[in-house]
Structure 1
Amino acid sequence: MVDADGTGCPVTKAIPTACGKEVVINGITGHIDGVIQDGKCVKTARSPEEREAMLTGDVKPIQTRLYWNRFVILVVFSLYSMVNAFQWIQYSIIANIFCHFYQVSYEQVDWLSVVYMLVYVPLIFPAAWLLDKKGLRTVALLGSGLNCIGAWIKIASVRQDLFGVTMFAQTVCSIAQIFILGLPSRVASVWFGPKEVSTACATAVLGNQLGVAFGFLLPPILVPNTKDDLNLMARNISILFYGTAAVATVLFFMVVAVFKEKPPLPPSQSQAVLLDTPDEYSYKQSIINLFKNVPFVLLLLSYGILTGSYYSVGTLLNQMIITYYEGEELNAGRIGLTLVVSGMVGSIISGFWVDRTKTYKQTTLAVYIISFIGMLVFTFTLNLGYIQIVFVTAGALGFFMTGYLPLGFEFGVEITYPEPEGTSSGLLNASAQLFGIVFTLAQGKLKADYGTLAGNLFLCSWIFVGILLTELLLPAAPLSSTGSI
């Protein structure tokens, strides 16, 4: 390619060539993570289509194949993720009932939710290392197994003086969560083709959200507020716990039966490259690389803020609703269901959208801004006295706030390739848990001292900060496959 300089003489423009991490496949050397521009190796994020052609030279394509059992694995994973998420929220949505049964404060019941976030932070790093070293099946067995054990321990806690036992059981379930939340992007990339990855990831996240939906819906139905009959309340709580344990047990055995480490042949050329890439980077080095990646650090903060806000709203929803609508525990659960179901639709749509357009950056910013607007509307309509309005505003809030979850996962994988998906998604979840702990405790304290409005405005202010961070992320992140931002 030639062009003219200031004197009109033809000059040669440098055509970017591949650089970065070197791999040898079928005897041919190639590079997978950068291009040379202006004499420097610049790391690039790649779409699935770009990754199909990322080796230099005329490399013979490696055989790939899609297997039907990828859908079975995705469904089983989504189901046991669902049960784990159900156990996270089953206490909070009837917090006033558990306060009465165990004779504890709201703050103590809040910790049954916060423990999910607290345990995640220190243990995510060894869990991500285990995923990288031992693989998908081992981590799936640990997640589903611990989930099952925690559910059975809860059955032994149905007595008024055994709040400590139910806290221990919830801690076991929270450890199980560590081996679940980081898997959606890994399951999607290992088993699904390039045009299916984002949709598969969104579906896997959807299972977790479905669990939250059932966690909002079923406990208020199964455990009504029979505060004058503690024996009946205990029987109802036992029914809730026995049902959860039975489902968790069935799903554990399904994981044992159907969950495979990887398909015999990779689903895409990009997975073939990764499978044949020498294990040059240690897990520690991978984390260091991610924290040197400025776009990822910005995403880490913005993802943590919005997802942490969602966790806080979910945890404190019962307390918000019954503050303005006394005796409406059942409707509080239905509002939570509306929040999550609309969010599930948002997750699917965002997955399809980025699969087709690859416009991660624009979509991330748009969803963030609309989530901020939705939180403002929810905040200022909560006390109007019309619970029907709360259903509508909660649905709109959930649609965009939950729709951000799979988008954040896939954007993280996109801007950190070829670092392991489990590492990036694990760090994103750790950020969400940290912000979730701070936001839940701070919002709960503000609600107790100054009212629900103050707590919600606290979240609104932080979501606005997240918008500013996302604005900074856009020019810092690499171009997408379409060249847009």
Structure 2
Amino acid sequence: MANLLVKLSLALKILRMTEHNKSMLEKDQEGGGGADVIKAFKRRWYILAVYVYYSTISCFQWVEYSIVTNIVMRYYNVSSSAVDWTGVMFMIVWPIFVFPSSFLIDKLGLRFAALTGCFLTGIGAATKLFSIHQGAFHVVLLGQAIVSLSQVFILSLPPKLAVTWFKPNEVSTVCSIGVFGMQLGSALGFLLPPMIVKDHLNLNDVGSNLKVLCWGLSIAIIPACIGVVLYFPRMPKYPPSSAQAEERKKPQDVTMGTFLNSLRDLLKNKGFLIHTLGYGISFGIFSAFGTLLNQFVLSYFPGATEDAGRMGLVMTTFGMSGGFLAGVILDKTHKYKECNLLIYLGSALCLCALLFCLQIKAKIMVYLTIAIFGFFLNAYIPAGIEFASELTYPANESTTTGLMTAVSQTLGVTFTLILSHINLNWSTFWALSIQIGLLFFGTGLTLIVPNDLRRQEAFNRGKAIEFTELPQEDPLFTKPPTRN
């Protein structure tokens, strides 16, 4: 009888504890208290897809005119340097507006950034609809300026989007997918303009081709604008990681003072500053090389305008696979410094091989080496951003990326203008040789960056806390004391 009473008492305790646990779970699911609810929503992939789509259209317009420099020069009766400014514009605008935009993104969130970036891209594309006559090159520059302004709200988002919506083991992969949009846009920018805008003898036919190009971009951005308006929230209802849960527990009102303090902390981080210079050199060469690719190729293969476009496509297509692979490897290994160093060295060596193939005028080998060069050069973009996020955690990701890209775009402008001058007045050989030297210098900088993985330490602390908070002995299955 005593044993029966003990069993009944234990059963009642189990029932009460089960009901209590169920009640607590319901409260958690309603956001009403209790333990942190960690959840990654399936809709995060929709949000990522929308971002990739409109960043693709924005980045397409970077090389839209420079890849057909010779045709644009004839139609608008301008110099090659003037056409270069259609690409340089993107690098000029960024350093001017990056800090105001980073402050606004930190204060107003992802939805504000998505709406602003997407709609500015659409406005810039629509502006260029009014540039289809030979005296309207200034309208081209205005449209390019508006699109370039959109990118200060677009290009710094991948790391912030990744940590806000995705699981810790997905962050690097998602960041690389986010950068994929930029690379895909560049690839299409190299491919489509030479196919659409032909070097007709009749300039009216050239104008008709430009109209097709501009209308196509204006129509393509409309679904993205609708998608952002309908669903692109500031953040998910529940955090996707314990690190994000901890961040939500200590919300801080973003003011200009807190933003400047965050910026000051970044400028005191020596490892981050060294990495930023190395990243800036690589990205600056990526920008300059893409802007001047048409001129580089035509200096060795006269009349090969479409080949220049296809080479740019090959470079960025292989680059997309490199960027995605880099993200997957980083999520699996967390070897951020090692991956950055290997990718940087690979970029330098491949540009050496590319220069050699251009010198011997082996067109097939140029396609091959430019593909491998693009693989490494583009892979460094997400790898470099992720390494910076590790070095600067818990600094806001958009501020970190914005500062890095400001340096990158400044160097991109500098490299493009100097290398364009060297290419015209000396030779393409010297322009490419200088880029090789800069890439080896950047490799050396990456070698001395400290391997300080702060974000991984935070993730690991979160896992340790979750583990240690588990009960060492489950009270539901504790045996009752035996009776003598």
Shared fold (TM-score, shorter chain, > 0.5): yes
Moved over 3 A (4+): 474-483
* Contact persistence 1:294–1:476 (CA under 8 A): no
Whole-angstrom distance in 2 between the partners of 1:262 and 1:476: 28
Partner AA of 2:444 in structure 1? L
The equivalent position to 1:254 in structure 2, one of 227, 249, 255, is: 227
Residue 118 of structure 1: how far off its partner (Å):
0.4
Correspondences of 1:116-155 after superposition (within 5 Å) = 116-155=90-129
Q: Secondary structure at the match of 2:54?
A: helix
Residue 476 of structure 1: how far off its partner (Å):
7.0
Q: Secondary structure at the match of 2:102?
A: helix
Residue 250 of structure 1: how far off its partner (Å):
2.1
Q: How many residues are paired up?
A: 424
Residue 266 of structure 1: how far off its partner (Å):
0.7
Whole-angstrom distance in 2 between the partners of 1:155 and 1:184: 30
The equivalent position to 2:143 in structure 1, one of 169, 180, 187, is: 169
Q: Secondary structure at the match of 1:190?
A: helix
| Unmatched segments (≥5 aa) in structure 1 | 1-59
Partner AA of 1:81 in structure 2? S
* Contact persistence 2:120–2:146 (CA under 8 A): yes
Partner AA of 2:204 in structure 1? N
Residue 61 of structure 1: how far off its partner (Å):
4.9
Q: Does 1:275 align with 2:251?
A: no
Q: Secondary structure at the match of 2:169?
A: coil
**1:47 matched residue in structure 2:** none
**1:264 matched residue in structure 2:** 237
**1:214 matched residue in structure 2:** 188
* Contact persistence 2:55–2:181 (CA under 8 A): yes
The equivalent position to 1:454 in structure 2, one of 419, 430, 451, is: 430
Return the index of the structure with the highest Cα Rg: 2
* Contact persistence 1:61–1:269 (CA under 8 A): no
Q: Does 1:91 align with 2:65?
A: yes
Q: Secondary structure at the match of 2:444?
A: helix
Q: Does 1:316 align with 2:289?
A: no
**1:100 matched residue in structure 2:** 74
The equivalent position to 1:427 in structure 2, one of 395, 399, 403, is: 403
Partner AA of 1:207 in structure 2? G
* Contact persistence 2:68–2:294 (CA under 8 A): yes
Whole-angstrom distance in 2 between the partners of 1:61 and 1:103: 67
Correspondences of 1:314-353 after superposition (within 5 Å) = 314-353=290-329
Higher strand share: 1
Whole-angstrom distance in 1 between the partners of 2:46 and 2:371: 30
Q: Percent identity?
A: 36
Q: Does 1:371 align with 2:344?
A: no
Q: C-alpha deviations, 1:245-270, integer Å up to 9, x for none?
A: 10012211111112111111111111
Partner AA of 2:84 in structure 1? D
Residue 377 of structure 1: how far off its partner (Å):
1.1
Would the alpha carbon gap of residues 480 and 144 (structure 1) be closer, same or farther in structure 2, given more than 3 Å must change?
closer
* Contact persistence 1:198–1:354 (CA under 8 A): yes
Whole-angstrom distance in 2 between the partners of 1:296 and 1:361: 12
Residue 477 of structure 1: how far off its partner (Å):
7.0
Superposition TM-score, scaled by structure 1 size: 0.85
RMSD (Å) for aligned C-alpha atoms: 1.7
Superposition TM-score, scaled by structure 2 size: 0.85
* Contact persistence 1:86–1:215 (CA under 8 A): yes
Residue 386 of structure 1: how far off its partner (Å):
2.1
**2:4 matched residue in structure 1:** none
Q: C-alpha deviations, 1:39-76, integer Å up to 9, x for none?
A: xxxxxxxxxxxxxxxxxxxxx85111111110000000
Partner AA of 1:222 in structure 2? I
**2:17 matched residue in structure 1:** none
Whole-angstrom distance in 2 between the partners of 1:234 and 1:82: 24
Higher helix share: 2
Q: Secondary structure at the match of 2:41?
A: coil
Q: Secondary structure at the match of 1:267?
A: coil
Partner AA of 2:432 in structure 1? N
Q: C-alpha deviations, 1:340-387, integer Å up to 9, x for none?
A: 010000001100001011000111111111111011111221132221
**1:27 matched residue in structure 2:** none
Q: C-alpha deviations, 1:68-96, integer Å up to 9, x for none?
A: 11000000000100000001111111111
* Contact persistence 2:281–2:439 (CA under 8 A): yes
